[in-house]
Amino acid sequence: MARCRKSNTNYKFISSLILICILVLYFFFAPGEESDLPVTVSGDDMYVHFIDVGQGDAALIQTASGNLLIDAGTSDSIETLTDYINALGVETLDYAIFTHPHADHIGGATAVLNTYTIQNVIMPNAVSTSATFEKMLAAIEAEQCEVIEGKAGVSFSMGEVQVDLLAPVSDDFSDLNNASVVTKITYGNVSFLFTGDAETSSESEMLEQNAAKLNADILKVGHHGSSTSSSVKFLSAVSPEVAVVSVGLYNEYGHPHAEIVSRLEDTGAAIYRTDKNGSVVIYTDGTKYEIQTEK
């Protein structure tokens, strides 16, 4: 009897040990698992950081040939944004794209302009009477940045990374959201589409002008997942494998709206949200990509 009990104890111990090993391997190697962010940049990989700035947008793209910032969050998230960029050791931005002059996208722009060396600023032909916008313009002038009008047809490269602007297609917009600079970034066979707050009217113009260009592996979902964006036809043209929603926890707008989440699920895309996942980093060698999340 004693030997029988001892055998059961060993069996339970070995089974528990195996289970622990499996769990350890899962947490270390499962894709999309949480990790300490930002991750260390190395080699020729491109790193795309969707930074958790609450109810706003900010993304940093690091390449072997330079850095690109798309939007700068809110005024409340300035410290979060600069701490994140500083942790990466970034001091120079080759390009900064401020998609449109709403405070949740340019709230930290002045601080960014005053903190880092920015060679080129890209923004649409759209203005605002807000103090935030005026301060940003003053900082751009003070820092003597080269200003490029953000509109469809503009393109440039950073080494092997190609950047194409797909919107705004025209200057005929009644809402500043539709002035949003829409940016497609391609590295090898992997592509990202950043849509700012572009709404359905801007999406329709892009579909009419060059629908084939919209296809992308990773989509930064328009307008924080608002129902004013992400039409069925637009999502069909993009056909993303991954959708990232930059959104604040328990935000007053109810973003992302349930119908948009449902549409994204219908595309088969894996959905990541900064309110639930924290900052999201996608890094690629131009052939495949991997995802890490803050939580």
Read off the pLDDT of residues 206-261 as tens digits, 9 standing for 90 and up. 999 999 999 999 999 999 999 999 999 999 999 999 999 999 999 999 999 999 99
Contact 285, 45 (CB under 8 A): yes
Distance between CA atoms of residues 107 and 278, nearest Å: 19
Task: Find the mean pLDDT for residues 103-117.
Answer: 98
Query: Which is more confidently placed, 271 or 35?
Result: 271
Pick from 132, 30, 126, 26: which is nearest to 74 by CA?
Answer: 132
Q: Which alpha helices (H) appear in 74-199, and where do they start and end?
A: 78-87, 103-106, 109-115, 131-142
Distance between CA atoms of residues 208 and 179, nearest Å: 17
The answer on pLDDT for 101 being more than 80 is: yes
Domain 34-293 adopts which CATH fold? Answer: Metallo-beta-lactamase; Chain A (3.60.15)
The answer on pLDDT for 96 being more than 60 is: yes
Distance between CA atoms of residues 216 and 189, nearest Å: 10
Task: Find the mean pLDDT for residues 129-136.
Answer: 98
> How much is the pLDDT for 126?
96
Give 281's Cβ-side CA count (13 Å radius): 21
SS3 294: coil
Residues in Cβ contact with 45 at an 8 Å cutoff, skipping those fewer than 6 apart: 283, 284, 285
Token code pair at residue 241: 């494998």
